[in-house]
Amino acid sequence: MAVCAHAQTAIFFFGAKWSETRVRKSRRHNRVVIFTVNADPAVSFADFCAIFIFRARFQDLTMRVFNFSAGPAAMPEEVLRQAADEMLDWQGSGMSVMEMSHRGKEFMSIHEEALVDLRDLLQVPASHRILFLQGGGLGENAIVPMNLMGAKPRADFVVTGSWSQKSFKEAQKYGTAHLAASGQTADGFTRAPARSEWQLSDDPAYVHLCTNETIHGVETFEIPDLGDIPLVADASSHILSRPMDIAKYGVLFGGAQKNIGMAGVTVVVVREDMLDRAQPICPSAFEWKIVAENNSMYNTPPTYAIYIAGLVFKWLKKQGGLAAMEARNLEKSKLLYDAIDSSSFYLNKVERGSRSRMNVPFFLADESRNEDFLAGAKARGMVQLKGHKSVGGMRASIYNAVPLEGVKALVEYMKEFEQRSA
C-alpha cells in the first residue's frame, strides 16, 4: 500500500495500475478516495499522484468529469439532480414526466412554463411565436425551405462552415439556393464574411446564416438589418449563451443538445407573418402554421426533452439570465484562446473577430501526439476533446454548463503537456 497526501486527502493505492471504483465525498479538502487496481502495470505511483492531485485541485473527485462534448453536451448538475429526484414522481403526481399525457394538466403546465421562461430569457417580442418541434437543427435544413419557399422559390446562403454548407445543399431540393458569401479560405472555414461581402440575389425568400459553426468554431457577431428580406439563423450551438436581438430575425432555430438541454426537441422562433408561406409538399407535422395553431401539440411532442429544457431555462434565470451567461462565457473563452495564442505548440486558425465562444478547435504542433494528449486529458477527468473527423485536431466545447474550473483545468493541462512535449 502507498499513501499520497494532498490537502488532507488520503489515497489508498495497491499495485501499479489504478482505477477509481468508489468515492466517499465530504467537504472539499477532507475526503477519502478508495482505488482498486488491475494487475497490468501501466501508471507509476508518481504519475498516479500527479494525476490525482490535478483532479483534486479542480474537481470534487466524484465520478463526474469535465465534459467538453460538442453535443449532446454537458448539462447543469443542478438540472440533472432535480430530474433524478423527480424521475419517479413529478411534484406529487405519482408519475414520471415521460409517462404523462401530453394533453394532461401536469404536462401542459410544464410546457407553458417552458415557453414563458424561454420568451423571457430571449426577450422574444410579441411579433414572434415559439415552437417546439422535432428533427433537430439538421431537420430544419429541409423544414425551413419547405415553410418559406412557397411563393418565392429562391433563398440566399452565407456559408461559414459545415452546418451552413449542409443547409445550402439541402435547400436545393426545394428551390434555388444562391451562395451569397463564403468564409472558406486556404485553411478551411476560418471567418464570418462581413455584410459588405454578401452578394444577395433579387428578392429572395430569405437569407440563411449559421450564427455559430460548431465544427469550425466560427461565430457571427454582427447581425445586419436586411430590411424586408427575412433573416433565418441556425443558432443551435450558441443560443442562450448571450443576449440576441430577436426582432432582427424572421426565423431563429436551434437543436436542444448544446445549451438548451437534451437531444430530442428543436426550438423554432418564427415571426407571425412568416407562418403562411409553406410549399404544398411540406408535411403537416412540420408546417409551422399548423404547429403554431396547435401550440406545438399537433403530434405528440418530445415531452421529456421539453421538461429538461424547462429546467435549464429556470437554471439560467437563477444564474442571472443571458447577460450573466455572456460574461461567464467571455471569461472562459478568453482564458482558453489566450492559452492557445501564447503558445507555439497550439494553434487556432479562426480569425480573431470570428472566433466562437462556444466551440474552440485547436491543433497540436506535433499531431502525432494527439492520442497522448487525449489520454492524458481523460486521466485528469476531461473528456470528449477530440476534434470533428472532418477537421481533426482538438475541440473544446465550452457551453453554458461547462464551469470556469473546467476551462482552468484544461488550460493547466495544456501547459503541462506542452512542457512535457518540448
Mean pLDDT of the chain: 90
Say if residues 236 and 163 touch (Cβ distance below 8 Å).
Answer: yes
85 among the known binding-site residues?
no
DSSP, residue by residue, 306-375: HHHHHHHHHHHHHTTHHHHHHHHHHHHHHHHHHHHHT-SSEE--S-GGGB-SSEEEEEESSGGGHHHHHH
* Interatomic CA distance for residues 304 and 207, integer angstroms: 33
Is this prediction's pTM over 0.95? no
18 among the known binding-site residues?
no
Domain borders along the chain are 1-63, 80-318
> What tens digit of pLDDT does each residue of 338-388 get?
999 999 999 999 999 999 999 999 999 999 999 999 999 999 999 999 999
Name 11's bridge partners. 33
Q: Which residues are catalytic?
A: 163, 234, 258
Q: How confident is the model at residue 417 (pLDDT cuts 50, 70, 90)?
A: very high
300 among the known binding-site residues?
yes
Q: How confident is the model at residue 83 (pLDDT cuts 50, 70, 90)?
A: very high
pLDDT top residue among 174 and 15 = 174
Q: Where does 28-145 show beta strands of DSSP type E?
A: 30-38, 66-67, 128-133
90 among the known binding-site residues?
no
> What tens digit of pLDDT does each residue of 232-268 get?
999 999 999 999 999 999 999 999 999 999 999 999 9
Residue whose grid cell is 429538461: 308
* Interatomic CA distance for residues 146 and 376, integer angstroms: 47
> What tens digit of pLDDT does each residue of 84-141 get?
999 999 999 999 999 999 999 999 999 999 999 999 999 999 999 999 999 999 999 9
Residue whose grid cell is 451567461: 325
Say if residues 274 and 146 touch (Cβ distance below 8 Å).
Answer: no
Say if residues 277 and 284 touch (Cβ distance below 8 Å).
Answer: no
Element holding 69 (H helix, E strand)? none
Which of 58-72, 161-175, 217-231, 242-256 bottoms out in mean pLDDT, i.e. has the lowest? 58-72
For residue 43, the model assigns a pLDDT of 55
176 among the known binding-site residues?
no
* Interatomic CA distance for residues 161 and 175, integer angstroms: 21
259 among the known binding-site residues?
no
Backbone angles phi, psi at 178, to 5 degrees: -105, 125
Contacts 24+ apart (CB under 8 A), 260-264: 260/309, 260/312, 261/75, 261/79, 261/305, 261/308, 261/309, 261/311, 261/312, 262/72, 262/75, 262/304, 262/305, 262/308, 262/309, 263/71, 263/72, 263/136, 263/305, 264/134, 264/302, 264/304, 264/305
> What tens digit of pLDDT does each residue of 188-245 get?
999 999 999 999 999 999 999 999 999 999 999 999 999 999 999 999 999 999 999 9
Say if residues 215 and 162 touch (Cβ distance below 8 Å).
Answer: yes
For residue 63, the model assigns a pLDDT of 75
For residue 41, the model assigns a pLDDT of 47
299 among the known binding-site residues?
yes
Query: Regarding beta strands 66-67 and 346-347, do their DSSP bridges make them parallel or antiparallel, or are they unpaired?
Result: unpaired
Contacts 24+ apart (CB under 8 A), 89-93: none
Q: Backbone dihedral region of 85: left (phi > 0), alpha (psi from -120 to 50 degrees) or beta?
A: alpha
pLDDT top residue among 57 and 145 = 145
Rg (CA), the chain: 24
Give the HSE-up count for residue 214: Cα atoms under 13 Å, Cβ half-sphere: 25
For residue 9, the model assigns a pLDDT of 42
Domain 80-318 in CATH 1.10.1060.10? The answer is no
For residue 422, the model assigns a pLDDT of 80
